[in-house]
Chains A and B, each alone.
Chain A
Amino acid sequence: AIRMTQSPSSFSASTGDRVTITCRASQGISSYLAWYQQKPGKAPKLLIYAASTLQSGVPSRFSGSGSGTDFTLTISCLQSEDFATYYCQQYYSYPLAFGQGTRLEIK
């Protein structure tokens, strides 16, 4: 089974900052990677699929890159509504797998 590892597990940032979250797959997954945002008490929301394709309606300050085993989610200019937990998920092969999550907090 493919394992997904995110880093960092949590960190603090300020509004306006540029932040990057990393996701690493235990084996190559081409570009079969999605990113989700989850706020407390809510269902996750799809941000990016195919590693770099922005889901409809998602602000352009979010971007994704990478292929193979190493991926990044970048938020170019943090807004207050971006403080949440972020998950990566591979869909290259079954069983599907999520990263453990990255909690982004306000500094």
Chain B
Amino acid sequence: QVQLVQSGAEVKKPGASVKVSCKVSGYTLTELSMHWVRQAPGKGLEWMGGFDPEDGETIYAQKFQGRVTMTEDTSTDTAYMELSSLRSEDTAVYYCATLWNKGNWGQGTLVTVSS
């Protein structure tokens, strides 16, 4: 049984960066393809990026290119998503998820961007 446990809520000022972690248990990170999805308050789900096992690369949504970095520490089975140059529109719940492949989601991390 895969479990994804994310880091806690963050409050950031505009222009700052945030790094959210996602600890995997039940599987090793190398057995999974991890994606990151966000959801602004009252809005739908938005895919930010994730690992494509066919290419062996992390692919980012064009909207976040240059601002987002997704990394993995296989020694601790922890995935990370760092978003920089934060603005108020980045206020959202951020999820790590395996999506259609095993269907596992983290509990979500609320990131609030406010001056």
Contacts and interface: CB of A to CB of B under 8 A. Distances in A.
A97 interface: yes
The dominant DSSP class at the A interface is loop
A89 interface: yes
Interface stretch (B9-17, B77-85, B95-103): B95-103
Given A87-B44, A101-B45, A94 B100 contact: no
B45 A87 contact: yes
Interface size class of A (residues with CB under 8 A): 20 to 34
Which of B46, B101, B103 gathers most chain A CB within 10 Å? B103
A43 B59 contact: no
B107 interface: yes
A45 B106 CA distance: 11
B50 A96 contact: yes
Contacts of B108: 43
Contacts of B47: 89, 95-98
Tier of interface size on chain B? 20 to 34
Contacts of A95: 47, 59, 61-62
A44 interface: yes
A45 B95 CA distance: 12
Nearest to B98: A46
Contacts of B107: 43
A87 B52 CA distance: 22
Contacts of A98: 37, 44-47
Closest 8 CB pairs of A and B: A46-B103, A43-B105, A34-B100, A49-B100, A96-B47, A98-B45, A101-B44, A94-B59
11 contacts: A43-B106, A43-B107, A44-B105, A46-B99, A49-B103, A87-B45, A89-B47, A89-B99, A95-B59, A96-B50, A98-B37
